[in-house]
A and B are shown apart, each in its own frame.
Chain A
Amino acid sequence: MPDIVLDLDFALGHYNYWMFVILMMTGLYVTVSRGNLIKKIVGLNLFQTSVFMLYISMGKIIGGTAPILTGDPDTVYSNPLPHVLILTAIVVGIATTALALALVIRISETLGTVEEDDILKMEHEMDFGVRKPGGGSR
């Protein structure tokens, strides 16, 4: 395996997939480590867009062209099916983003904060009527 990994063709042929993993993990990290709800949503969007990159990368054929018919029988087309899937995913993604942002606005109106730590603290006070010792939960 190590001699394959050092191969330049192999590295070029998998570069897109590795970069997608890095971007996706950045998105995951922003989502799980940041307490601000708006930043969590931005992190989710990063995560989502990197998944799109993986799918579109898989559909590409070197020397191919965009899947719009040219009339020339020798034309090689890139795979159109991932494109269709991802079009749907982008549109559903904006729907979930809009819903999440509406929830953030409601949370901010009701509790006056969009920080996860503050929200958890307030919930604890509502449930038990006392301030939690030490502050941060989890």
Chain B
Amino acid sequence: MSADLLGIAIIDILLFTFLVVTAIAIMHLRNLFAVVMLAGVFSLLSASLFVTLDAVDVAFTEAAVGAGISTVLMLGTLALTVREEKKPAHSVFLPVLVCLVAGAALIYGTLDMPAFGSADAPIHLHVAPAYIERTPIDTGVPNIVTAVLASYRGYDTLGETAVIFTAAIAVLLLLGAGIRQSGKDGGKE
């Protein structure tokens, strides 16, 4: 138990150090191209973290969607807008205070949480064992995540698809309207 925990902890500490360094670099840099690239690096690092935490499905989705599609979308936006962020004009005192207070409250909240990786945490005792036990009998799908996503909670996934469809229509409407307008009267309303 302790040796296993130590092994995972070393990988965790390494990955989290990289993640924090990347996040701080994103905070400081004003070149938006570098910021977007670092956001892709952040996504890829978090995908590696998900692999060490046994969430392989989440890891490849995060690598494909977070590091792939979202970087492409952001680069497209940069090509159509600006490359450099302006220096912030107002003071950072209030945001820092808000973040420190919220962070302190959250850390206080984690003190009561069960230790990382313990098998008797409440999350593992409620319905999860039932899903693990019944997946091969009910669905025959070896991957439990797929079974829950597509079979047990199929309607939720349908709802998720509806969300993506709505977002896609909204994006097309927003961008399509812009192209037509600028074609007609030179982008001036």
Identify the A interface with B (CB < 8 A). Answer: 1, 5, 9-10, 12-19, 21-30, 32-36, 38-39, 41-43, 45-46, 49, 52-53, 56-69, 76-84, 86-88, 90-99, 101-106, 108-110, 113-115, 117, 135-136, 138
Contacts and interface: CB of A to CB of B under 8 A. Distances in A.
Given A23-B19, A52-B62, A56-B53, A98 B171 contact: yes
A90 B110 contact: no
Interface of B: 1-2, 4-6, 8-9, 12-13, 16, 19-20, 23-24, 26-27, 32, 35-36, 39, 42-43, 46, 49-50, 53-58, 61-62, 65-66, 69-70, 73-74, 76-78, 80-82, 85-86, 88-90, 92, 95-96, 98-100, 102-103, 106-107, 110-111, 113, 115-119, 121, 123-124, 127-128, 131-132, 135-136, 142-145, 148-149, 153, 156-157, 160, 163-164, 166-168, 170-171, 174-175, 177-178, 182, 187, 189
A62 B135 contact: no
Given A69-B144, A105-B81, A109-B187, A56 B55 contact: yes
Given A19-B20, A136-B89, A84 B145 contact: yes
Nearest to B178: A109
A2 B150 CA distance: 46
A130 to B, nearest CB: 20
Contact of B88 (A10, A33, A62): A33
A58 B121 contact: yes
B74 A106 contact: no
12 contacts: A9-B5, A13-B117, A21-B103, A24-B103, A26-B23, A26-B26, A38-B35, A52-B46, A56-B49, A80-B145, A91-B61, A136-B90
B74 to A, nearest CB: 7
A77 B144 contact: yes
Given A17-B113, A106-B178, A45 B39 contact: yes
A9 B115 contact: yes
